[in-house]
């Protein structure tokens, strides 16, 4: 069954300091709250770690939710600098991105790390938003489906070890599209979402999927992207840091 809501996940990455996050939220508080009142619309803000508790608290009277950008693959222990999924849950995080290409590429995160993080999140009742997608070189070498299959299998096997029925979000984010302005055609996205679903269901028939697209979504291309059937939302990076642009994407 499809999700009744359409999701807009704003990935603020490490673009705003804590002070700037506070300013951004205060400046746009009313407008954010108005956006959340749009029917069947769910907004999730993903600030960096130090701002999560503030953003969650600031918007607690609205239906806006907060998500982290990653978490530790360990439960607890001598892992300096890491943040446990349980701590994210304690401060009110409902969602967490996992395997974003910037984590895979700059922090050498592997499919195995992603799998462990998915399990930590599920244990703590946080919905994982698993990011998958091919590099430009992989696309040129026609390896898109192979890469996606590997990434989806790893994440879904992790879910399977934990539960037979679960809801996870999967964001198809072609790496060559992130921040570049280049996007795949609607037909390509549709076919890849179908493939993602078929792989996930082959691993775990009762899995419930929320399918997102991410990569250069902005106010000028969103109307066309919204025509994609079976899409449940967008993961938005750059354009989510400009409230006017984000508002146009949502409305
Ligand atoms: C992202 O990094 O998740 C993303 C979607 O970025 P952008 O929208 O800036 O391409």
Q: At residue 51, does pLDDT exceed 70?
A: yes
Number of domains in the chain: 1
**What's the Cα-to-Cα distance from 97 to each of 71, 169, 221, 235, 239, rounded to whole Å?**
8, 9, 23, 10, 18
pLDDT tier at 54, thresholds 50, 70, 90:
very high
* pTM given for the model: 0.96
pLDDT at 165 over 90: no
Question: Residue 2: its pLDDT value, please?
Answer: 66
Report yes or no on 1 lying in a domain: no
Reply yes or no on whether the pLDDT at 15 is more than 70: yes
The answer as to whether 222 is a domain residue is: yes
pLDDT of residue 57: 97
pLDDT digits (tens, 9 = 90+) for 199-221: 999 999 999 999 999 999 999 99
Label residue 59 by pLDDT band (50, 70, 90): very high
Alpha-carbon torsion (71, 73, 76, 79), positive or negative: negative
Checking if the pLDDT of 166 tops 70, the result is: yes
Q: Which of 237, 239, 241, 249 for a ligand 1 pocket mutation test, highest count of atoms within 8 Å of Cβ?
A: 237
CATH number, residue 144: 3.20.20.70
- Nearest-CA residue for ligand 1 atom 4 is 237
- Residues catalogued as catalytic: 100, 173
Range of the structural domain that residue 241 is part of: 6-250
């Amino acid at each position: 069954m499809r999700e009744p809501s359409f999701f807009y996940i704003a990935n603020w990455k490490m673009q705003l300091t804590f002070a700037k996050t506070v300013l951004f939220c205060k400046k746009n508080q009313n407008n954010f709250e108005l956006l959340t009142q749009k029917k069947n619309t769910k907004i999730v803000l993903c600030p960096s770690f130090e701002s999560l508790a503030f953003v969650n608290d600031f918007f607690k009277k609205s239906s806006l939710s907060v998500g982290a950008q990653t978490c530790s693959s360990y439960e607890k222990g001598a892992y300096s600098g890491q943040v446990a999924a349980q701590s994210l849950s304690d401060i009110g995080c409902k969602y967490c991105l996992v395997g974003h290409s910037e984590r895979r590429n700059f922090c050498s995160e592997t499919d195995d790390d992603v799998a462990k993080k998915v399990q930590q999140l599920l244990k703590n009742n946080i919905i994982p938003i698993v990011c998958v997608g091919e590099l430009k070189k992989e696309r040129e070498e026609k390896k898109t489906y192979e890469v996606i299959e590997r990434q989806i299998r790893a994440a879904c096997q992790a879910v399977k070890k934990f539960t037979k029925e679960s809801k996870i979000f999967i964001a198809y984010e072609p790496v060559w599209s992130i921040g570049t302005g280049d996007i795949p055609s609607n037909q390509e996205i549709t076919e890849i979402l179908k493939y993602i679903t078929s792989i996930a269901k082959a691993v775990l028939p009762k899995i419930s999927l929320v399918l997102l697209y991410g990569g250069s979504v902005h106010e000028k291309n969103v109307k066309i992207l919204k025509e994609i059937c079976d899409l449940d939302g967008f993961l938005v990076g750059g354009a989510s840091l400009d409230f006017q642009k984000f508002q146009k994407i949502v409305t």
